[in-house]
Structures are given as C-alpha cells and as structure tokens.
Amino acid sequence: MTQRHVVSTVIAAATMLALSGGAVAAADGKLVLFANGEDLATDGFVGRKLTKDGWELHFDHVFATVDDLVAHQTEPPYDAEAGGEPAATVSVAFETGGPVTLDLAAAGDDGRVRVADAAAPEGHYNALTWSAVPAPGGDWAGQSMVFIGTATKDGRSVPFTLTSADTHEYTCGEYVGDERKGFVTAGDEADLEITFHLDHIFGRADKPADDPMNQEATGFDAFSDGGTQAISLAGLHIGHVGEGHCAVSYR
Amino acid sequence: MALALLAAPGPVLGHAALIDVMETRAVTIHARYDTGQPLAEAQVAVFAPDDPRTPWLTGRTDADGRFSFVPDGREGRWAIQARQAGHGAMGYITWGAAEPGEATMLALASPAATDGLQRLVLAACVVWACISTALYFRRRPAGHKGAR
C-alpha cells in the first residue's frame, strides 16, 4: 500500500471512529471488485475496431497486476480531472495479500474478472483507488502489464509479446456505465469495476486519425517485427471505472 | 324554433386545451470533451436525491452538448450522467438552495493529459459551471416527466 493510500485510509478510519463515538462501524454488506478489458481484450481488435494503423489483434493473454485496491465513500464526489486525494469519509481496502495478476483476455461470460471482495459499511462507494504494479513473481515478474497474441495485416501474421514495467497509480471517481454501481445496503452486495481501455494503447481505426485518443495511442506498427518487446504505457489513460475517468500518475 | 336553439352560440365545456406559462429555475448541463468538442446527442440520465439508482429522467443532449431539466422539488444532490461512444461523465448539483446552484461535470476520458503541467491546464479547461437558470417553459401535465 502506497503512502498516499495509507494516509487516506488512516484519515477515513479516524473519521469513522469519531463519528461512531469510538466504536468502529459494523460491516453491513459486501463490495465485490471486478476488472475487465472490454471486448477488445476478449475478442481482440477485429472488424471495424482494428488498431489505428490497421492491425487486427487477437490476444491469448492480457495480464495486468494490480495492488492497493481501496473503495471510498467521498464527500464531495471525487473530481478526477482536478486530481488530488479523494475526500473519503469511509474507505474499504480489498485484502488481496499483495499484488494480484489478472488475465483480462480470460474474462467470464459477463466479460469480467473477479478481483476481490470485502465487507463494507452501508453507503455509496463513489471512488476507487488502485495501482498497476510490477508482478513480484511468476512468469512475468517485474512486469505490470503483458500483452501476448497475434497481429495480422495485409496477410502477414506476427506473434507478439509486449511487456510493460510501468507502475501506474489511479484515483477514480464514480463508475459510469449502464447502471450506477457501488451502493452497499445491509446484508446485500454491490460491485465496482476497474476497466482497462486498450484502445488508448493501440488506437482505433474506426475513429478519426485526429481523435485525441488516436493521436496519443501508440498503435501497433512500432511492434510489427513481433517477438518480445517492451512497450511504454506512461502517459496513456488506460485505467477507468467503466466509462468514468481516473487521475493517473506513473512511476 | 328547434333549429334556432341548436344553432345559438353558447359556452363550450369539457375539452378546452389550456396552457399556463410561467418562469422557473432549471438545471442546464453542458457536456463536452476536454478538447472543447461537445458531446452532441449524448445519452443523459438524471438521478433524484432519494433514488440514486433509478433514472428519474432520460434524454439526449443537443448538438452543442446541452441538456436542461427542471427538478421536481426534491431537495438534495441530483446526479446527471452523460455518455457517448465509450466516454462518460457524472455531474452533481445540490438542489434546493435559495440561490442558483453550481455543479461540475466530472471526468471525461482524457487521453491527452500526459504530464502534470499539461494535466492542470486540461483540468482547468474541462471544468465548467452548471448554472440553474430562469427560463420560460410550458407546464406539462403530471406524469410526463420522461420527456425533456
């Protein structure tokens, strides 16, 4: 857990203690945290959704290692554009026992990967903080994200493995999607979601070349030699909460 | 004689259409990308303070990314969501204050923000005020709250 998360969690815990007159509030429900890479991770960049430079991508694996997962009730709601620390009144840490590696290409039928759950006091968890960190062990130790798959263009297929060792710290506001999320009530469970937008890395052929996302995205041409190559993700806004934005910093 | 009675002018009752016109406060949102491009025809959902999970009103922004609505009098924090083509944002406004409220539309996807300095500039550009404004509108029959 990073220093900023320790500080925010301690502040939130102190606030809860003060509000409850010294007794820690009971955990009334459960929060379940999911992650996904949308259909671009499971189905690939296919059809109209080729990369910005016209490559079709299929992923065997999209590994992402995450840590420091904390859901917050904030007042006022967190403004990811303004950045800074969320004004948390309640914070709930997902105890994962350290960094956990997810395969976003192996999502379930609902397109999501279950990350962790935690007992949570009632309320609306309208902010989420988390980090993508280098994996401490395993086949891809030292890498925070790894993309393994095959790229195809003009009849040429290129097996690739792209590795990133970047650490990214995200502070996100409320989930934005088909429904609002994060409302915990007594005896019930609610879910939250980390959403990786892979088109911010590879761009999208079905969007104009001058679209800001395409202008920033790396695309795939730079990796067309295939094999194992390093990719820098610094500066790219990959992590979201549904369609909602996050403040991000890279190390 | 009977024909004369039938043709005589008199009051018409039962099916008159009436319109009351009045001035009221409303909430207007302006949804746009941090590049300044409006979220035209974006999906909008409005959530009332006492039922934050169920949209109280849905609609679409106009070509300039604007959408207006009149809260039904419930005081507290109203939430407004705007979404378009994989980009989304939430805005909030506290309704019920004597003075027009202010709200901020939060968190549009911003792939262009690449470093601390640039991010501050972009943040200053994307934050906008949502001001309750007085406007004329036609009072609608009760139960038509789903329409803009």
Domain with B95 in it: 19-137
pLDDT of B12 reads: 57
Cβ neighbors of B134 (< 8 A, separation 6 or more) are B23, B24, B25, B26
Query: Which of the listed ranges A158-172, B2-16, B129-143 does the model predict with the highest average pLDDT?
Result: A158-172
Chain B residues closer than 8 Å to A183 by CB: 52-53
Model pLDDT, residue B7: 53
Q: How many CA atoms lie within 13 A of B14 on its CB side?
A: 1
Tell whether B29 is covered by a domain: yes
Over residues B54-64, the mean pLDDT reads 97
Position A110 pLDDT exceeds 50: yes
Kindly report the nearest CA distance between residue B22 and chain A, in angstroms.
33
**pLDDT the model gives residue B130:** 36
Q: Of A194, A99, A30, A126, whose CA–CA distance to B91 is shortest?
A: A126
pLDDT digits (tens, 9 = 90+) for A170-189: 999 999 999 999 999 999 99
Q: What does the pLDDT read at residue A162?
A: 98
Contact assignment for B107 to A173 by CB distance below 8 Å: yes
Report whether A148 contacts A229 (CB < 8 A). no
Query: Total domain count for chain B?
Result: 1
Specify if B5 maps to a domain.
no
Looking at the domain assignment, is residue B146 inside a domain? no
Q: Is residue B115 part of a domain?
A: yes
Flag whether pLDDT at B104 surpasses 70: no
Nearest-CA distance B112 → chain A (Å) = 6
In the predicted structure, residue B9 carries a pLDDT above the cut 90: no
Per-residue pLDDT tens digits for A85-106: 999 999 999 999 999 999 999 9
Residues in A closer than 8 angstroms to B110, CB to CB, are 81, 212, 237, 245
Residue B3 within a domain: no
The DSSP annotation for B66-83 comes to: EEEE---S--EEEEEEEE
For residue B44, tell me if it sits in a domain.
Answer: yes
pLDDT in tens, A38-64: 999 999 999 999 999 999 999 999 999
pLDDT the model gives residue A129: 98
Chain A contacts of B87, Cβ < 8 Å?
243
Per-residue model confidence as pLDDT tens digits over A197-224: 999 999 999 999 988 889 999 999 999 9
Contact flag A213-B53 (C-beta cutoff 8 Å): no
Cα separation, B148 vs B36, in Å, equals 24
**What's the pLDDT band for B8 if we cut at 50, 70, 90?**
low
Which CATH number fits the domain that encloses residue B106?
2.60.40.10
**Structural domain contains residue B1:** no
Q: Are A173 and B106 in contact (CB under 8 A)?
A: yes
Would you state the pLDDT for residue B36? 83
**Average pLDDT for A152-157:** 97
